[in-house]
Structure 1
Amino acid sequence: MAMRRLLYAVIFTFNFVLSGTLLEAQESQQQLEEKRKKIEAEIAYTNKLIAEIKTNKQTSINQLQLVESKINSRNNLLANYKLQIHALTVSIETTELSIRNLNNDLKTLKKEYAKIAWYAYQYKTSYNKLIFLFSAESLNQAYQRMRYLDQLSVFLRNQAKGISDKEREKAAALAKLQQKKEELKGLLKLESNEVYLLEGERSEKEKVTASFSGREKELRKSLKAKEKEAGDLDKRIEDIIALETKPKSTAGKPATYALTPEEQLLSNSFFANKGKLPWPLERGVVSETYGVHTHPVLKKVQTKNNGVDLATAKDSEARSIFDGMVASVTTISNTNVAVIVKHGDYFTVYSNLDEVYVKKGDQVKTNQLLGRVHTNLKGETELHFEVRKGVVPQNPVYWISH
């Protein structure tokens, strides 16, 4: 009896751990599904942006960057499918193990039930029960025998209920297993389709790249103009930040720079939200990331980006990623106005706007609209966005939420 109780305890513990594992796998599967939907939405939006650019007959670097961005998203989607397939495979294996254990439990319960039922069958009639009771050597023994028969009857009812419950549990597990196998079959089909689409997008990239053949002079000229504009923006940013952080002298004391208590609180809050800050656009796709890059077409040419370039739809509006004060509204070119917002020690830059809704000194709130992003003659709408601590550029990807 003690051994049987130990066996039940082990089975209960195993099933408890197993159910916990299944719950964790389910949560992970849900997270992967949410991530998959986001990537699919990003790919669809990128396709929309490429379609807008394609109205211009001549291909552009921005189009090539968007195609590259789409390929990266497609690779991420494939990786997501692989993780989902792995998680589902593990879940199927766990469910199959659970069914095997249910079968073992049922086998044990049925075996015990058959043994006790056969024993109880001997005392099925009232006559046999009376013989069993009156053959006792004492009144106390007769009482104990009567209690034994009652307990035997209760045990059989409980055992029958236990078998019925296990049968229902097994049927539910089998149904769940079949559902998961169908889901896995669907995921494998989707993965195969994504591989096919990825091959098509790689071919698209090759075609777009080939279309730049013989246009090196034009590309170098365009790159030079872009680098000049980036250089002008960088200098303006540094000058404005230098002015904002200029040491100030007080009576009888050397000049120093320090944040006010309110500015320090804002600065600390900005840093505390690192990785959770909203996007500077309602919707957008990263067309160029932070740092040094090899030019997508020109050989042995590198470009540098102090922030990120975000491709978006026509008439999109830039918005502040955090509370702050407009430190500057500066014109870089006829079609490029930049808004710089101060958040204590930190500054955010929103460049390539053709219409601005704020002015220097304005207090802005998180998600407040700052201006409309410029759309060029090629149909490209792109926001240049930077995060800086003092004059030092930061990688915006580490600051905004994904």
Structure 2
Amino acid sequence: MNSRFLLLLFAFFLQASPLLAQSNKLIKELENKRGILQKQIAESESLLKTTKKDVGSQLGGLAALTGQIEERKRYILAINNDVESIERELTSLERQLARLQRELKDKKKKYESSVQYLYKNRSIEEKLMFIFSAKNLSQTYRRMRYVREYATYQRLQGEELLKKQEQVKHKRQELRQVKSAKEELLKEREAEKAKLEEQEKEKKVLVANLQKKQQGLQNEINKKRREANQLNTRIDRLIAEEIEKARKRAAEEARREAAARKKAEEKSADKTTASATPKNTTAPVEAFSMSKADRELSGNFVNNRGKLPMPITGAYIITSHYGQYAVEGLRNVKLDNKGIDIQGKPGAQARAIFNGKVAAVFKLNGLFNILIRHGNYISVYCNLSSASVKQGDDVTTKQTIGQIFSDNSDNGRTVLHFQLRKEKEKLNPEPWLNR
């Protein structure tokens, strides 16, 4: 009986000790997730400097500030989600504590009853009289066993009471720690909201300054639109050429497979019979758009949607999103981005988002642009001051492919323009990237 009880006691403590660790683990996981976002925000704050007063610089500064505001809102949203998780944990802990306290109260009552019973029948003489007043030997044995087991029962009741008190103590400690974590989180949220409010004010001032320069602003937008159209026309032409190359590779592969099949059939079949019932084993060229290798690479690329690395090294802010949208606060200022613009620190490198082959490297307005094929997907990296790969090179995920141009006349502003295509179809890159 004693050995079994010790095993039960040991098992209880093995089970009870993780109770505290469980909430600590949740808090730690939430802290780690927030830590990544917090580091990203802290590093990207250094990208917000705008010293020049010209429209182009201020427009770039507005884009960077808007991106930083979005990042901070995303961080505050993460804090809100973490607060909700901790509140759910608190509710669960409070229910567990209430249940333990009810169980403790119940065990105290049972223990008090057993103590009172023993007190009433406390003398050795009374126990002996109870045993020896039995009518026969069998009854005597049963009464002896009853006295012994009741004593053991009372001891176990006491030990169970101590265990339950220890459980209540641990649960209260766990509850205090989670409440403390929640209080710290709420303080952090208020601090982030204050920073966000300051940045919103700064943005209003910047927008007001730009509104006073409407003509210069429109000229700058038109200039950027012309440059973007020129770049996209070149990219579209190169992608069309790459699609045609892929189609020819696939058609040639199909022809080789058909020829091999035909040769094998001719060896195993009678030539006369074969000539009497000709078989068309070669499919039309139009039926093939990708080789087996390209299909496999495309499948792997699709399977990594949402997990692809950012195409830039170091701290970054997304300053312009995919698609058509108006710039908040500026009338008649509409942008149409075929990809996304990502601002980094001076010296930042562009890097491949997945394994692939360099389809093209070309220069436009003095800057390099690189296209990488991943099956029938193509990633595009623009605005590079140098390229470290050439057409035909195989690249691997996260391999650096060139340095992003830093504009020394604009406080070293460093912006990568990144696009993603599925053949000729333009895709929004953000859902594909791991942020």
SS in 1 for 2:434: coil
Q: Does 1:205 align with 2:236?
A: no
Contact 2:345-2:414 within 8 A present in 1 as well: yes
1:292 CA displacement:
0.8
User: How far apart, in 1, do the equivalents of 2:295 and 2:325 lie?
Assistant: 35
CA distance in 2: counterparts of 1:84 and 1:298, whole angstroms: 35
Structure 1: distance between partners of 2:283 and 2:181? 73
Deviations 1:255-293 (A, max 9, x none): 445322212211111111111111111232111111111
CA contact (8 A) 1:353 1:371 kept: yes
Structure-2 residue corresponding to 1:6: none
Task: Tell me, yes or no, if the aligned pair for 1:387 and 1:396 is still in contact at 8 Å.
Answer: yes
Letter in 1 for 2:228: A
Counterparts of 2:303 and 2:160, CA distance in 1: 54
Q: Take 2:123 and 2:102, find their aligned partners in 1: how far apart are those partners? A: 33
User: Aligned to 2:52, which of 52, 56, 80?
Assistant: 56
Equivalenced residue count is 380
Between 277-286 and 241-250, the greater mean CA deviation after superposition: 241-250
> Please, which of 298, 303, 307 is the counterpart of residue 339 of structure 2?
307
Query: 1:272 is aligned with what amino acid?
Result: N
Residues 1-35 of structure 1 show CA distances to partners (whole Å, capped at 9, x for unaligned) of xxxxxxxxxxxxxxx9xx99x95x76665443333
Residues in 1 aligned to 2:243 and 2:78: alpha-carbon distance in whole angstroms: 45
Say if 2:419 and 2:429, in contact at 8 Å, map to a contact too.
Answer: yes
- The 8 Å contact of residues 29 and 87 in structure 1, kept in 2 or not, is answered as no
User: Aligned partner of 1:394: which letter?
Assistant: L
Which residue number in structure 2 is paired with residue 8 of structure 1? Answer: none
1:382 corresponding residue in structure 2: 415
Q: Distance in 2 between matches of 1:98 and 1:255?
A: 69
Q: Partner amino acid for 1:311?
A: Q
Work out whether 1:332 is the aligned partner of 2:364.
yes
Give 3-state SS (helix, strand or coil) of 2:406's partner: coil
Partner Cα distance (1:125, 1:150) in 2: 14
Q: Is contact 1:122-1:128 (8 Å) kept? A: no
CA distance in 2, matches of 1:130, 1:28: 58
Instruction: Report the residue type matching 2:116 in the other structure.
Output: W
Secondary structure, counterpart of 1:330 in structure 2: strand
The residue type equivalent to 1:345 in the other structure is N
Aligned equivalents of 1:145, 1:55: Cα separation in 2: 96
> Aligned to 1:352, what secondary structure does the other structure show?
strand
Question: What is the distance in 2 between the residues matched to 1:141 and 1:317?
Answer: 91
Q: Which residue number corresponds to residue 217 of structure 1?
A: 215
- For 1:9, the equivalent position in structure 2 comes to none
Q: Which amino acid aligns with 1:229?
A: E
Partner in structure 1 of residue 129 of structure 2 = 131
Q: Structure 1 188/245 Cα, relative in aligned 2: closer, same or farther at 3 Å? A: closer
Q: Compute the displacement of 1:297 (Å).
A: 5.3
Q: Deviations over 1:155-190 (max 9, x none)?
A: 111111111111111111112222222222222222
Aligned residues of 2:382 and 2:416 also touching (Cα < 8 A):
yes
Matches within 5 A, 1:194-343: 194-246=192-244, 247-248=247-248, 255-256=285-286, 257-283=288-314, 284-296=316-328, 298-334=330-366, 336-343=367-374
Scaled by the length of structure 1, the TM-score of the pair is: 0.88
Structure 2: tracts of 5 or more residues without a match: 1-14, 256-281
Indicate the residue corresponding to 2:275 in structure 1. Answer: none
- Could you say if the C-alpha distance between residues 28 and 291 of structure 1 is closer, same or farther in structure 2, counting changes exceeding 3 Å? farther
Give the corresponding residue for 1:43. 41
Q: Which amino acid aligns with 1:397?
A: E
Tell me: CA distance 1:126–1:35, structure 2 relative to 1, closer, same or farther (3 Å): same
C-alpha distance in 1 between matches for 2:332 and 2:51: 31
Q: Provide the C-alpha distance between the structure 1 equivalents of 2:89 and 2:134, rounded to a whole number of angstroms.
A: 57
Query: Hey, which of these two has a bigger chunk of helix by percent?
Result: 2
Kept in 1: contact 2:348–2:404 (CA 8 A): yes
Partner of 1:12: none
- Cα 1:136–1:122 shift into 2, 3 Å: farther
Contact 1:280 1:320 in 2 (8 A): yes
Classify 1:149/1:254 alpha carbon distance in 2 versus 1 (closer, same or farther; 3 Å).
Answer: closer
Question: Distance in 2 between the 1:213 and 1:302 partners?
Answer: 14
Q: Distance in 1 between matches of 2:313 and 2:154?
A: 66
For the 8 Å contact 2:318–2:340, the answer to whether it is kept is yes
CA distance in 1: counterparts of 2:119 and 2:348, whole angstroms: 83
The correspondence for 2:176, drawn from 163, 167, 178, is: 178
**In terms of Rg, which structure is larger?**
2
1:266–1:343 Cα contact (<8 Å) kept:
yes
Q: Which residue of 2 aligns with 1:119?
A: 117
Q: How does 1:87-126 map to 2 (within 5 A)?
A: 87-126=85-124
How far does the alpha carbon of each residue in 1:184-213 deviate from its partner, in whole angstroms, 9 at most, with x for none?
A: 222222222222222111111111112213
Classify 1:100/1:253 alpha carbon distance in 2 versus 1 (closer, same or farther; 3 Å).
Answer: closer
Tell me, yes or no, if the aligned pair for 2:27 and 2:181 is still in contact at 8 Å: no
- What TM-score does the superposition give when structure 2 sets the normalisation length? 0.82
5+ long unaligned stretches in structure 1: 1-15
- Counterpart in 2 of 1:392? 425
Residue number among 165, 168, 181 corresponding to 1:167 in the alignment: 165
Instruction: Tell me which amino acid in the other structure corresponds to 1:234.
Output: N
State the Cα RMSD in Å.
2.3
Larger CA deviation: 358-367 vs 96-105: 96-105
